[in-house]
Chains A and B, each alone.
Chain A
Amino acid sequence: DSGVTQTPKHLITATGQRVTLRCSPRSGDLSVYWYQQSLDQGLQFLIQYYNGEERAKGNILERFSAQQFPDLHSELNLSSLELGDSALYFCASSVVSGQGGDTQYFGPGTRLTVL
């Protein structure tokens, strides 16, 4: 158990809908990362938050957004869902030492199925 929690484990929804995925980082970690894992695109970095502020952005669609709250939990919002958004969404957390090379600890993921 990494100490990172994600809810829900599974989510089934229809095209055009909006969903929210939730992540709680390990105790003491200020940074949260979101990744998407799909069969055709592998593991893709979406976005990073550090202590409530956006720190880095990856291949995140405009239909997707995220935020990190004062208690450090994070939510990933996916809207106008398409079939191609079906994937595993992982959250990870780490300390940020400022020196790079910080280990990221991953949650169990949320499996999103868009029908």
Chain B
Amino acid sequence: DAKTTQPNSMESNEEEPVHLPCNHSTISGTDYIHWYRQLPSQGPEYVIHGLTSNVNNRMASLAIAEDRKSSTLILHRATLRDAAVYYCILRDGDSSYKLIFGSGTRLLVRP
């Protein structure tokens, strides 16, 4: 299974943008990049996903490097509610059923 590497933790100030990096150097051509977040005492929730092009939705933006070996989740204006653990995972077309989560990045947002 292709693996992802994320920093253990990051800090941000409220109202400022946050860029959460993820390395996935062994990504294959059919792997989709998914991001989830887990708020304290809750189950993970889907944030965004992409294959090759940058993606935007109401929660965040996903910037994917041209060689697809890394990606960045962008929160445009962090709020206190965005304090969570963010997981970057790969979901491939050959075994899309088997999803392995890493340790994720714990985001701290300062008021």
A and B: interacting chains: no
